[in-house]
Structure 1
Amino acid sequence: MTSESLAEKRTRPGRPLLFISLSALLLLLGIVGSLKWGQAPVSWHGLLGALVGPGDGKTDLYVRLLRLPRALTACMAGAQLALAGLLTQLATRNPLASPHLFGVNAGASFFVVIGLVAIPDFSAPLAVGLAFAGAAAGAILVWSLAGGGRFSPVQLALAGITVHFLLSALTEGMMVLNQQSTDSMIFWLVGSVSQASWQDVRLLSPFLGSSLIFLFALLPSLRLLAVEDEIASGLGQRVAAVRTAAFVLVLLLAGSAVALCGPIGFLCLIVPHISRALVGGKLGALVPMTALLGGALLVCADLASRFIAFPFESPVGIVTSALGAPLFLHLARRRGGTVR
């Protein structure tokens, strides 16, 4: 019996719905807090007027043009990164896997730094395009080195670690040799949504929407990946094709989020484990729980990052890494030294 089926047996009826509802509430409260608090004070009356009023005042423009797209971008990027982490763990049957393992973050960072150094008129849309291309290139390189659709978890881990450290070393070397051109990249490399705009919301929306449709259509096949490949093949499952589809989804979800917000640490790894501990391993509940919790955590982390060095902004990646490491250690210790 797989760990997923055991988790389903341990889950009480109604518990997944309760935690999914609480995650949705946390996400809503985080968005409200993100709109209310920051460098500029906003009253509750002014916030309500900015959301439902005609939008003529300075507060209205501040909330609508700066804070609302920032909160929505954090929500969508958090959901995408968390789902990408869950898919990576399902497809590889490796509880410690994340999109980092596929060279997505390292590839995006490397291509953007190359653009900053080599292209004089470097713009934000170009940065997004290069980041997404780099994420795809890193993932394809890892996929090829690991053997394509048929690989072992060990092969994938070795290929991913090799590509990640190689591209990270090249990125750091280029930044050291071209410090004047790459100073503006510091926030992006740590992970930040402070510069988010409505353009970012429009860019992320189709990626998230199409990926969710694709993911829910793929759920029946993903359930069989929890068993051994031989058993899944015996049941008529095309394991290589399902894994390839899962990795395409990882690229779409994580690549677009990293392109806009940078490589935000630990979110992909820790959120699926927290979600599984709360609602069990049934994918019908695990997928929405992971998406909601990922969005809520990134929105709340972005809100907390505004007060670390107030009135100056701090990268949200600092908060997610600071929270993710002890949470992951606590979860591993609570489960007796194993993470399922």
Structure 2
Amino acid sequence: MISSSHKGKQNRPRFLLFLFSVLVALLAIGILCSLKWGQAPVSWGALWDAVSYRTHDKTSLYIQTLRLPRALLACMVGVQLALAGLLTQLLVKNPLASPHILGINAGAAFAVVFGLVAFADLSMMSTVAFAFFGAAGGAALVLSLAGTSRNSYVRMALAGITIHFLLSALTEGLIILNQETTDSMIFWLVGSVSQAAWKDVQLLLPFFAAGLILAFFMLPSFKLLQVDEEISIGIGGRLSVIRIVGMLLVLLLAGSAVALCGPIGFVCLIVPHIARSLVGGRLTVLLPLTGLLGGVLLVYADFVSRFIAFPYESPVGLLTSAIGAAFFIYLARRNGGAAA
């Protein structure tokens, strides 16, 4: 028994190395597929000339200015949404929690649509600012309704669903009453990276880098969220400060992603569960694996979404919502069976 346990511990680093290697390879293959296949056929030689910037013909410019930033933006947004979902689940100690349930996505969407209605020439940076304020407002509403007691998790879920539907209804009302201004928002509201450009990648990059650095810097503190409150307080953990920083990090990651690509559904929920089923709850491994899985999932989802209604584009949010809904039903049935 002892030897088998010791052998399992020895094999774990090999398994983790193999797992991360496979995911990195899958991510590279997904980005390559995203660059090569789409509405316009591209040969392997033209693809190599484009990514190596050897030529600047029409095909190379098409790949360099459209497909490459789209693939990179999908990867970055997938990483951010997955990490935001994991941190939300840690903060509220609820494996079914996500920024979507906390009203963050709906708040950001409402604020962005409101900004476009109120200011027709809204800049991209102003859009991000509106998204942050909306995300913070949605989260504040949910937390104020749910309370801060230890057994407030059920109330938080109910409050989150209520605020989500309220803000979604207000958003749809603004769109209906201002169709000329918000006609281009339909794809964004479902979640899409089809209009990605280099300016979007450049705008998201500081939030992406700051979010990753802060997440790994706070990793030892976030581990305290996995133990009982009495234990963490007993060893000197300042839970209130950790929760505030964690919530700000969720707003940073989810708010900036939603501002550029819309509220892409279910990535925040399903990716942490998949990562947890692969490596368990050890946060040192779980955090980077969740981010990597999020990038892989959204890159492939965006690639597949191109062919759902080919030659027309389909929002990637449609595909992630379909996958996420099926996965959510699976989780509910599994948890219900375990409870029974």
Distance 1:190 1:53 in 2: 34
How does 1:1-340 map onto structure 2 within 5 Å? 12-147=12-147, 152-331=152-331, 333=333, 337=337
Cα offset for 1:60? 1.1
Distance 1:28 1:77 in 2: 16
Answer with 226-235 or 249-258: which moved more: 226-235
1:102-138 per-residue CA deviation (whole Å, 9 max, x = no partner) reads: 2211111111221232223344444333223222222
Distance 1:294 1:270 in 2: 9
Answer with 241-250 or 324-333: which moved more: 324-333
1:247-301 per-residue CA deviation (whole Å, 9 max, x = no partner) reads: 1110000000000000000100000000111121111111111111100110110
Q: SS where residue 99 of structure 1 aligns?
A: coil
Which letter does structure 1 place at the counterpart of 2:17?
Answer: L
> 1:5 aligns to what?
none
Change (3 A) 1:226 1:125: closer
Change (3 A) 1:336 1:174: closer
Q: SS where residue 105 of structure 1 aligns?
A: helix
1:219-252 per-residue CA deviation (whole Å, 9 max, x = no partner) reads: 1121121122122212211111111111111000
Which letter does structure 1 place at the counterpart of 2:233?
Answer: S
Distance 1:108 1:151 in 2: 27
Contact 1:103 1:135 in 2 (8 A): yes
Contact 2:78 2:267 in 1 (8 A): yes
Q: SS where residue 120 of structure 1 aligns?
A: coil
> 1:4 aligns to what?
none
1:15-37 per-residue CA deviation (whole Å, 9 max, x = no partner) reads: 22222221111111110000001
Distance 1:13 1:166 in 2: 47
Distance 2:126 2:118 in 1: 12
> 1:3 aligns to what?
none
Q: SS where residue 243 of structure 2 aligns?
A: helix
Q: SS where residue 263 of structure 2 aligns?
A: coil
Which letter does structure 1 place at the counterpart of 2:64?
Answer: R
Cα offset for 1:39? 0.8
Distance 1:338 1:46 in 2: 54
The two structures have a TM-score, normalised by structure 2, of: 0.90
Change (3 A) 1:161 1:42: same
Matched residues, percent identical?
Answer: 63
Change (3 A) 1:130 1:119: same
Answer with 210-219 or 320-329: which moved more: 320-329
The two structures have a TM-score, normalised by structure 1, of: 0.90
Which letter does structure 2 place at the counterpart of 1:73?
Answer: L
Change (3 A) 1:200 1:148: farther
Cα offset for 1:142? 2.8
Which letter does structure 1 place at the counterpart of 2:195?
Answer: Q
Cα offset for 1:333? 4.7
Which letter does structure 2 place at the counterpart of 1:21?
Answer: S
Change (3 A) 1:226 1:33: same
Cα offset for 1:177? 2.3
Distance 1:186 1:119 in 2: 18
Aligned residues: 331
Change (3 A) 1:301 1:51: same
Q: SS where residue 257 of structure 1 aligns?
A: helix
Q: SS where residue 218 of structure 2 aligns?
A: helix
> 2:5 aligns to what?
none
Cα offset for 1:152? 3.1
Q: SS where residue 55 of structure 1 aligns?
A: coil
Which letter does structure 2 place at the counterpart of 1:186?
Answer: I
Change (3 A) 1:150 1:211: farther
Distance 2:335 2:157 in 1: 23
Which letter does structure 2 place at the counterpart of 1:36?
Answer: K
Contact 1:149 1:243 in 2 (8 A): no
